[in-house]
Structure 1
Amino acid sequence: MTKDECRMPKEGAAARHARASAAFGFQKFGVRHSAILFLFSTVWAQADAPRGTLPAEQRTNGKQTLAAVEKLKPLTAACAARIESLLGRPICTATIVGEDGYVLLKASEVPELQKARIKFSDGRTADLREVHRETRLDLLLAQAVGITGLRAVSFGGARTLTLGQWLCSVADSGTEPRIGIVSAKNRRIAGTGAALGIRMDEKSTKDGKGVRIVGIASESPAEAAGLQEDDILLTIAGEKVVEFRRVHDIVNKRQPGEIIDVRYLRKDKEESCRVRLASRTKVLQNWEGEDFANGGVSLRSDNFPEVLQHDIPLLPTDMGGPVATLEGKVVGINIARVDRVTTFALPVEAFWTEAQQWMKEDRHPPKAVPAE
């Protein structure tokens, strides 16, 4: 027995009982505490444990999802074709509306049809002949030269659709089916005019020869045409300009997609370029950073008499393709990708009666009246 132990007072029975009870209670609490810690640590471990990811085919439009729209392929993918440049770059999609080669597409994407061609799902390609360009609807009726035996789309009605109703369309220039829903009521979309995508000095140049550019919007028509800051605009669409307001007036009277000639001065050297105008809405989105990293928006995204709005994930190159209900009724043609989650389609009632008349007049032109 140590000295320290000898100095400790003797413990009575009551004290020993109390100490024993306290020790037993602590042990019981320790058991419960350990059990609780074990339980939570198990839950945390399960939460932190990596979960198996879905197979790639189930992450977007997987096989099971697309099985529901498989029967619609003859009404969508089989009735769509790809419009591409002469070098094979995709431009937009076309909807086949006549067995003898008639197609409808987005007009603002092909201002110069002779520089484009059409490629069908069976691999055939052809030149295109312009039949009718309807600026009001941003639609172009064209005919594939020398092509027959096509499967034309069959239209239903669009104005009875309801919010949340499923729709099916095609992506990748008509080869991949995708689904979404009607996301807003049909309505008119007002136009905001066309734009170059530039900011100009409000003061005329010292010599009064033109208007100086002080800013260029990213991904704008001006940037695509090669215009730069400090260039001095001399003429727009053949008209001399000496103040910035006149530039606005000339451009704003035109439609997105139109091509205008621009003459300008760069470091005392006069140069010229051709600019394909875009919707002012698109230009402002780019300037504010709204259009970055989302696949882009259409050159023209407004000024339509009526639109059917849906959320099918599409790109600008998919515009012009058909959109159908899951019951198999083709109800319109995609006409503008507006933002990350919004696409406008022209409902069938807005264009099909006129389009049929354009085809009829082209197939059976009036006979020439003999000169008297």
Structure 2
Amino acid sequence: MFFLVVTLLVLFARPAMGQSYLKRGYDTDGKYVLKAFAPVVAETRQSVVQFVADGKKSVLGTIVTADGLVLTKASEVRLAEKLTAKLSDGREVEAQLLAEDRLDDLALIQLDAEGLRPVAFELDAKPRLGQWVIVPGLDEAPEAVGVMSALPRRVNGVRLGISLFDHPENGRPVIRFAIPGMGAQAAGLQPGDVLRSIAGHEVNNSQDVIDSMQNVIAGDVIEVVVERRGKEMTFEVEMRLRELNTKLKEDYMNSMGNRMSERRDGFASVFQHDATLTPAECGGPLLDLDGRCIGINIARAGRIEAYTLPAEVVVESLEALTAQTMVKDDAPDTTEH
């Protein structure tokens, strides 16, 4: 860390009158700034892989065991017919998806490689607002750097696509209108429908509606039961992300630059930073200034918003995913002979 601080001081040292604050070239090319963080990622970059899905660059991955188990962003590799991984030593090896954690969007993948260096998750790290965070890749310099901008919280951007009000007499949630282009309208829900249950959960007011959707993600199809003119009706509704509306300032800003991750919602706990990741740079570890791994980058959620699963969430998910693979291995062979 001392070397890094000295390097940054040299980069940004106050110049003589009339001179640039940065050494010539440093003010027009961010790679020089990234190289200042090379000592931070020197060890951990050996624990990073770059996945290639069906011949195209996909996401990063984080090595978690010496015998080739890797965690990455599940939604970016799930549909790949052929999956390989490039290692920091230049090798490209075969990869096989073993198990998925759909809520945290993590996948456990087995590489055809041994003797790898697993990452060490720092469970005692206490991220602070404004601290530096670094995204290692395969190269000497990191992929990106940024600062912590929000501490762990739940994020869920999926919507039924309805506006509600609670009935003045019985408090029941009533649909005021269905939003065009969203799942509720497509399924046939109408103004005046009284919600009775969502995804098997009885709803008695608007707060119940919110609580019933805590563990759903974009693409899920849930059962919605309503009362319409005294008759109970059931609908299958696809959960969708709200489409960007560039007339809104926030959406306009998020529409600029690289695309966002397709899955960027429905996380029980993520912290947020402003390192400028692309979706292909998710799936790898996030480091603090001491080079400690404090989590795995899981989504590019906005122009300057990236989400990271905290280390304790990742470790818990890894344990569950490993247990899934053990159950599969122990399952009896039902093949007919």
Same fold, TM-score > 0.5, yes or no: yes
Which residue is 1:271 aligned to?
none
SS at 2:244 equivalent: helix
Which residue is 2:110 aligned to?
143
Could you tell me whether the CA contact under 8 Å between 1:95 and 1:104 is conserved in 2?
yes
After the TM superposition, which residues 208-287 of structure 1 pair with which residues of structure 2 at under 5 Å, given as runs? 244-246=186-188, 255-256=217-218, 280-281=241-242, 283-284=243-244
In the alignment, the residues of structure 2 paired with residue 97 and residue 286 of structure 1 have an alpha-carbon distance, to the nearest angstrom, of 40
1:103 aligns with 2:70: yes
Query: Of 114, 118, 134, which residue of structure 2 is paired with 1:152?
Result: 118
Which residue is 1:190 aligned to?
156
Could you tell me whether the CA contact under 8 Å between 2:154 and 2:269 is conserved in 1?
yes
Deviations 1:81-115 (CA, angstroms, capped at 9, x unpaired): 1112332x211111111111111111111221433
1:351 aligns with 2:317: no
In the alignment, the residues of structure 2 paired with residue 69 and residue 346 of structure 1 have an alpha-carbon distance, to the nearest angstrom, of 23
After the TM superposition, which residues 62-211 of structure 1 pair with which residues of structure 2 at under 5 Å, given as runs? 62-63=31-32, 66-75=35-44, 77-87=45-55, 89-144=56-111, 146-157=112-123, 160-170=126-136, 176-177=141-142, 178-193=144-159
RMSD between aligned residues: 4.0
Deviations 1:276-328 (CA, angstroms, capped at 9, x unpaired): x99614x3257965444411100011110000111112111101010011112
Structure 1 residues 160 and 247: CA distance shift in structure 2, 3 A: same
After the TM superposition, which residues 294-313 of structure 1 pair with which residues of structure 2 at under 5 Å, given as runs? 294-313=257-276
Q: TM-score w.r.t. structure 2 length? A: 0.63
Letter in 2 for 1:170: P
In the alignment, the residues of structure 2 paired with residue 55 and residue 70 of structure 1 have an alpha-carbon distance, to the nearest angstrom, of 22
SS at 2:291 equivalent: coil
Percent of residue pairs identical: 26
Quote how far apart the aligned CAs of 1:189 are: 0.7
Relative to its length, the structure with more helix (as a share) is 1
Could you tell me whether the CA contact under 8 Å between 1:113 and 1:129 is conserved in 2?
no
In the alignment, the residues of structure 2 paired with residue 69 and residue 175 of structure 1 have an alpha-carbon distance, to the nearest angstrom, of 6
Give the total of aligned pairs: 259
Quote how far apart the aligned CAs of 1:67 are: 3.1
1:315 aligns with 2:290: no
Q: TM-score w.r.t. structure 1 length? A: 0.58
SS at 2:151 equivalent: coil
Relative to its length, the structure with more strand (as a share) is 2
Could you tell me whether the CA contact under 8 Å between 2:75 and 2:105 is conserved in 1?
yes
Query: Of 289, 292, 295, which residue of structure 2 is paired with 1:329?
Result: 292
Which residue is 2:25 aligned to?
56
Could you tell me whether the CA contact under 8 Å between 1:83 and 1:94 is conserved in 2?
yes
In the alignment, the residues of structure 1 paired with residue 133 and residue 271 of structure 2 have an alpha-carbon distance, to the nearest angstrom, of 11
- Structure 2 runs not aligned, ≥5 long: 1-17, 162-179, 191-197, 200-212, 221-237
Letter in 1 for 2:241: R
- Structure 1 runs not aligned, ≥5 long: 1-48, 196-214, 217-235, 237-242, 259-276
Deviations 1:207-243 (CA, angstroms, capped at 9, x unpaired): xxxxxxxx99xxxxxxxxxxxxxxxxxxx9xxxxxx8
Deviations 1:27-68 (CA, angstroms, capped at 9, x unpaired): xxxxxxxxxxxxxxxxxxxxxx99899633454545466334
